[in-house]
Amino acid sequence: MFATGLAGLLVAGAAGTWLGHRALTPLSGALSLQRRFVADAGHELRTPLTLLGTRAQLLRRRLRRDPDADPQLLAEVEGVVGDAGLLTAILEDLLLAADPLGVRPREPMDLAELCRDVLAAAAADAEDRGIELRLVVEGAVRAVGSAAAMRRAVTALIDNALRHATHTVDVRVRSEGATAALEVADDGSGVDPTVAPRLFERFATAARAGESGERRYGLGLALVAEIAAAHEGRVTLLDTTGGATFRLSIPAAADPSARPPRKL
């Protein structure tokens, strides 16, 4: 009797698992299709939206320099710049939801060239804020990973630095053996190192060093940490005397010019 009951339970369990799998398969396919559509549409929208935001910033800069500019027109352009920034943030959230880790495909990439592209895209925003962007590249720096995901991470680090900098943002890229390293430093008020572990939580806040108020980090640094971890890397807040310096490190790509050892 006991053996019969046990066999019945096993059969029922196996049947339940099979039926559950059959029920979930169409749902999984539908979700996959939805995510692919959102990702494809998002990537198609990213370029024109970036161009729209850049052109709006250039127009705003020209109006600000014109003493005869219509204040109402300037206010409207300010609204366009803000709306473009909001749409860009929404688009990035959609892309993140469609591909939470965003690390496929993995392939060798030029990290220094990627940083140049991100800094070029941020140049107008930096000029509007009165911030100087400076880049130092130490030799050839190639990494392994998803260029799209890494661009998202570097953009988040640059945006964070621009929000908190006073005059300058310094970006340094270098290769350290098996690691490709990127450091982004701002000359702002700095962060208390004791709160560093919380900085990579979503919507984290931290006290400003030596000042009242808080530095707010939103989703940006949390996104960087997730992308770094997915690339088998990490992002850390370095111990600095002034401002804040974030270091992102991921595996370096093999040197394509290196020759394999000769077999004896």
Task: State the pLDDT confidence band at 263, using cuts at 50, 70 and 90.
Answer: very low
Token look-up 């290769």 returns 175
Residue pair 228/250 in contact by the 8 Å Cβ criterion: yes
The whole-angstrom separation of Cα 121 and Cα 50 is 8
Q: Kindly list the distances between the CA atom of residue 18 and the CA atoms of 2, 22, 170, in Å, as whole numbers in the listed order.
A: 24, 6, 56
Task: State the pLDDT confidence band at 207, using cuts at 50, 70 and 90.
Answer: low
- What is the tens place of the pLDDT at every residue in 97-139? 666 555 556 788 999 999 999 998 888 889 889 999 999 999 8
Helix (H) or strand (E) holding 182: strand 179-186
The whole-angstrom separation of Cα 116 and Cα 121 is 9
Domains in the chain, CATH or no CATH each:
2-98 (1.10.287), 107-251 (3.30.565.10)
The whole-angstrom separation of Cα 138 and Cα 182 is 11
CA atoms within 13 Å, Cβ hemisphere of 195 = 16
The greatest distance separating any two alpha carbons of the chain, rounded to the nearest whole angstrom, comes to 96
Residue pair 90/46 in contact by the 8 Å Cβ criterion: no
Amino acid at 38: V
3-state secondary structure of 185: strand
Q: Is the pTM of this model over 0.85?
A: no
Which segment of 1-10, 175-184, 246-255 scores lowest on mean pLDDT?
A: 1-10
